[in-house]
Structure 1
């Protein structure tokens, strides 16, 4: 052991060299208390049984322990000297603590006392619990004083005997061990569970020092193991980078009354909520403890909250709860109030974040409260973020304007998309970043939870695959241009500020089955580089009142972050005409249609409706369509083009196939596809290439399937194939 500093010639009390020297000095004081108590016990109960070795602590063993001082190498204090030595060592410790503070030396026990407002009695309780954690001989002395070999930790009774001089002070000190006391409410100590402790009364319960407090007193700054898996401590730079977030400018740290703030940031992932909190802490010059609230919810959220706030106090940091809205349930207002009251006890700034707006259910006593929205960046800001994060490399085929317009991303999502794209590029040949890599990176960041009410379609068709009349193809290309330049028109040209609703793109495709409506939707999605989700109407429409609206709300809310095209096939089942109200069923059906009209107007994404019966669509929906494209059955020239391109180039097709004859048979594009596939399977079964015979036989099956009347004469010179 190092030599203890002593007063110099001028009588100036030396400071402690470090924290551990102070802890040892305090334990020396606790040891003296124990010596005095043991001698008093011996005087009151001289002698003792020695017939049961191992079942109790013998007098000889205690004497042996007392001959070897526990907390110093020599200079043991004789208990016979009374209270004088205890007062002396207490005064010396206080003087050395003051000297240490003047020299700016950090002593953890005084820090703990000041942070949690502990009285000297509370500090002594901590030290009594600490002693047996550091030296096993204290366990034996505690067992001896408690006359129970199994009780190796101090009971409340033992603590009161050591620290209280009479019965009145013992009774008045019971509140130190109440649930609301600083020691227990901050989880500095805790009584052992009944299963671990035979004591059934309060006074006979053993108490233990919390492991994190033990580590802290000994110099550890590791985050409490109970929260380490979902928390991290960061040290923000004082000169934080310029924030590219639209809500950060409103962050304030104190309210007009000078109180610290509880600030709630709400908005989608990656909008800069955490960055704003880091910047605020950087200005204050304090660290920030970031807690993932979803990890807290797995256990008792309130107890975990206490531990998290305690950790922030130990670290001298502000605290940021990510995903805080997962902890507060609108249906559990009392739970939310309890959490808020606990947050109100924290003396430093508190930052909360969530995805939805939230207001506290009550008034705060010690903090002000502010709710700040963090929206998805505007088109122009998204474009600047793309340019900045790409490092100015925006040449070649990379079009940041297109990316900013098609993907309504936050700054964090843009960063993640570029990271993913670079990984995709690195795994390919050459590693050069391309627009295709960026599109794939963007799709990886889009919300995929739409799958609960939809099926994702992988768009494979291109403009070369679809055969339409000239004006119809022109309409489809106008739709694609609308998608491409939407951000420019609304943001750069000011239409966004002029209109509050109706800024989405709503398209209606109408025509008989098989005329190419789904293919056209895929072509548009492929051209735009966007995913397309076919909405499952059977899963949305419910016979239970209110369920359909709830399902629709879920679809449109999830679609806001999907950056995908919503495709409602057979839309007349959901977008049908409102009817005259004759009963409650009609009334609720009309409510569903009205709700859908509202969501269509509010939604800023892309919606494509497809119907076989345009006349069944409610006129209110038709008025809200920016484009309405009719898909008639193909004419003979168009059918011939379809037949000519229907077979993949890998398919062996006989040169004698008469596409001109086939084009004269009135079929939709969907039926032609069915015939081609069926003919290919017949050819495969025959072990031959696809011939006219296979196609005619497949035509016969298609006619039978769609209920079209036919005679062998309809097949002309190929009629022998169907006889």
Structure 2
């Protein structure tokens, strides 16, 4: 401090001067007195220079004493400048190295309350800003240092730890309504010390984009915490201007406690998916990201490069969230580039949507089978019912408009259909045909991978699949669904009680599903009676009669055969099997014919038919010429 009272030093220089005054050697400063320390620190707290700005702000947030802020400045100074480190090492020789010893610091800062135990138990050490060395020595002879990530944060070179990393913004534009909602909810956090926000969505990228937007309203960036928060996290968050982000995946009914954040009293964010209960000292702000309406979806498609007409058609055809639209648009652009087009066309959008959703690829298997109209041979009444199902699915977003409040108040846009019938009657083929008509990718749920012997895992798996499917707008196909949605049983022990509770959850979740779900089973009787009420459509796929079987033979054989109409009639009458078995027979007959170098003939069909009946354990029909 000059005679006029102006500050000519920073906090690190003041701390070094105090050390020099307490000892001797290269750090000694002429004209320095101990009573100058406190007013200098106060002046620099009030008007910090650029070198001290972050440390002073952190000290205010942690409520550090003058001795603690000076000790932190000293630790920072020796890490910043090698000459300072060597000078301090000389002062501390032979006991210490280039990092200050706690005893020396306490002695030097005694005029501002420096004391060994006070420093060792104060907020600077408790928050992780200062670390006490692990030397096998008494407390005064142990070193003080600042962790490397905090050094970076305090010097403007943000560094990440092994399980703490700054978040990279996803390429997910958000609709205006969601941006307004983020601003409003961020405003709530601004008035809640230690308050947090729980953002729920089936799309991790969409939830992350919403969290980043809400944090930016508060002037903060996000840092994702994986695992237990490391010591010093609170100080690092405050110094670097980050808010902590957690992304657990609790299952339905599971509780996830917020990890302790120590001295950090700012906002926090949790992205748990759709399920689970987040436990925190202060009740968090809950935000369930809503599905954008048709107008908002059209705007997102336009922003992604689609023409106005195509954007409107895509918004009306596909009920997708912002994250899914961004993903589908990127794949559409890839398709356009492969086809040599500079701008998106409708066929590119169709290809981008049909390419599937990354959020589902780990949960179910995508099927690319294309089933034209001629391949689906069904009774006329079943054809009509499937056509009505297509219409119902296409109108699902707007179906409740103009209807009474008894419908509109509880309406959900999901469509749930059950296909029943014996194996091979066309249930799976009809599911693929329906997906083609709607322009949606079909995901087949692997029931063996979905169900688990561990309590709660089946529910967790199903909830994850349904949530991802809702957001991505795909067609979910549950084959052998009765194994999952079977009838409840009388309770005789704890296992029955849990099984019934699981069935109750599954029935409730499928009723709340906002996407399109097709379930297939060999028998309707295997389902819980309460399940029928939760379905929009139940279609029975009968065993085909002889005329339908003839059409199935024609559809499967194509032109690569030598059978006349009379032979096809005889086969259709004699072979009383469903379409799936006819397909097997045709493939086996084709293999025989190719091996013989001929077209498919009577003998090849007869032999393949005997094999198929043998697989079923049934005697074959008489097919001699």
- Fold equivalence (TM over 0.5): yes
- Distance, in Å, in 1 between the alignment partners of 2:328 and 2:196 is 29
Question: Deviation at 1:371?
Answer: 1.2
Q: Hey, what's the Cα distance between the residues in 1 that align with 2:272 and 2:495?
A: 38
Consecutive unaligned residues in structure 1, runs of 5 or more: 1-5, 39-61, 71-75, 79-83, 235-239, 719-723
Aligned pairs (5 A) from 1:257-296? 260=193, 262-268=195-201, 269=203, 274-275=209-210, 278=213, 281-282=216-217, 287-292=219-224, 296=225
Distance 1:602 1:615, change over 3 A: same
Q: 1:380·1:491 contact (CA, 8 Å) conserved in 2? A: no
Q: Deviations over 1:627-647 (max 9, x none)?
A: 232222323333332222213
CA contact (8 A) 2:132 2:143 kept: yes
Q: Are positions 1:202 and 2:136 aligned together?
A: no
Matched, 1:129 2:75: yes
Distance 1:492 1:532, change over 3 A: farther
Work out whether residues 200 and 273 of structure 2, in 8 Å CA contact, stay in contact via their aligned partners in 1. Answer: yes
Distance 1:98 1:474, change over 3 A: closer
Q: For CA contacts below 8 A with separation 6 or more, give which structure has more relative contact order.
A: 2
**1:499-524 deviation digits (Å, cap 9, x = unpaired):** 42675322232333222121111111
Which of 245, 255, 259 is the aligned partner of 1:322? 245
Q: What secondary structure is seen at the aligned counterpart in 1 of 2:398?
A: helix
Q: CA 1:689/1:338 → structure 2, altered by over 3 Å: closer, same or farther? A: same
CA distances 1:468-495 after superposition (whole Å, capped 9, x unpaired): 2222211111111111111121368688
For 1:86, which of 18, 33, 40 is the aligned residue? 33
Q: Is the 8 A contact 2:424 2:579 kept in 1?
A: yes
Q: Give TM-score scaled by structure 1 length.
A: 0.71
Contact 1:271/1:411 (<8 A) preserved: yes
Cα distance, 1:176 vs structure 2: 1.1
Q: Is the 8 A contact 2:150 2:235 kept in 1?
A: no
SS at match of 2:68: helix
Give the CA deviation at 1:156.
1.5
Deviations 1:17-46 (A, max 9, x none): xxxx64685367247426xx23xxxxxxxx
1:311 correspondence with 2:221: no
TM-superposed CA distance for 1:678, in Å, is: 0.5
Paired position in structure 2 for 1:684: 594
Counterpart in the other structure of 1:383? 297
Distance 2:326 2:302 in 1: 10
Q: Secondary structure at the match of 2:422?
A: coil
Cα distance change on mapping 1:247 and 1:523 into 2, 3 Å: same
Task: State the TM-score, normalizing by the size of structure 2.
Answer: 0.81
CA distance in 1, matches of 2:557, 2:437: 23
> Radius of gyration: which is bigger?
1
Q: Distance in 1 between matches of 2:98 and 2:252?
A: 43
Unaligned 5+ segments in structure 2 are none
Corresponding residue of 2:185: 251
1:187 matched to 2:128: yes
Could you give the per-residue CA deviations for residues 356-385 of structure 1, whole angstroms, max 9, x where no partner exists? 477775655xxxx55132322243354344
Further displaced range: 476-485 or 205-214: 205-214
CA deviation digits over 1:441-497, x for unaligned, max 9?
335563644755x54433321212111222221111111111111112136868896
Residues 147 and 208 (structure 1), Cα distance of their counterparts in 2 relative to 1, 3 Å cut? same
Structure 1 segment 309-458 matched on structure 2, within 5 A: 309-312=237-240, 317=241, 319-325=242-248, 336=258, 338-339=260-261, 342-344=263-265, 346=266, 350=268, 352-356=270-274, 361=279, 363=281, 370-390=284-304, 393-395=307-309, 398=310, 400-401=312-313, 403-404=315-316, 406-407=318-319, 409-442=320-353, 446=357, 448-449=359-360, 452=363, 455-458=365-368
How many angstroms does 1:136 deviate by?
4.9
1:656-675 equivalent positions in 2, closer than 5 A: 658-667=567-576, 668-675=578-585
Equivalence map 1:451-530=2 (5 Å):
452=363, 455-490=365-400, 498-500=408-410, 503-530=413-440
Instruction: Give the root-mean-square deviation of aligned CA atoms.
Output: 4.5
* Mapped contact 1:507–1:627 kept (Cα < 8 A): yes
Aligned to 2:65: 119
CA–CA separation in structure 2 for the residues paired with 1:144 and 1:523? 82
Helix, strand or coil for the counterpart of 1:464? helix
- Correspondent of 1:29 among 17, 21, 28: 17
CA distance in 1, matches of 2:433, 2:180: 36
CA distance in 1, matches of 2:510, 2:251: 30
Asked if the contact 1:250/1:372 (under 8 Å) is kept, the reply is no
- The 8 Å contact of residues 447 and 559 in structure 1, kept in 2 or not, is answered as no
8 Å Cα contact 1:489/1:495 also seen in 2? no
2:537 aligned to which of 627, 650, 672: 627
Residue deviations 1:413-438, cap 9 Å, x none?
32332223212211223244233432
- The answer on whether the counterparts of 2:103 and 2:116 sit within 8 Å (CA) in structure 1 is no
Distance 2:255 2:500 in 1: 33
Structural mapping, 1:223-238, within 5 Å: 223-226=158-161, 230-231=165-166
Matched, 1:222 2:222: no
Hey, what does 2:106 align to over in structure 1?
160
Q: Secondary structure at the match of 2:539?
A: strand
Cα distance in 1 between the residues matched to 2:497 and 2:144: 66
Contact 1:323 1:353 in 2 (8 A): yes
Inter-partner Cα distance in structure 2 for 1:561 and 1:158: 61
Counterpart mapping for 1:638-649 below 5 A: 638-647=548-557
SS in 2 for 1:230: strand
User: Paired residue for 2:623, among 715, 720, 723?
Assistant: 715
Cα deviation 1:395-427 (Å, max 9, x = unaligned): 3xx3635545533x3223323322232122112
1:601 aligns with 2:490: no
Q: Deviations over 1:536-573 (max 9, x none)?
A: 44455667887766665555455444533333334445
1:664-720 superposed Cα distances (whole Å, 9 cap, x missing partner): 333322222111100111122223333332222222322333344356xx335x2xx
Counterparts of 1:622 and 1:604, CA distance in 2: 17
Contact 2:298 2:311 in 1 (8 A): no
Shift in CA distance, 485/537, structure 1 to aligned 2, threshold 3 Å: same
1:637 to 547, 569, 594: 547
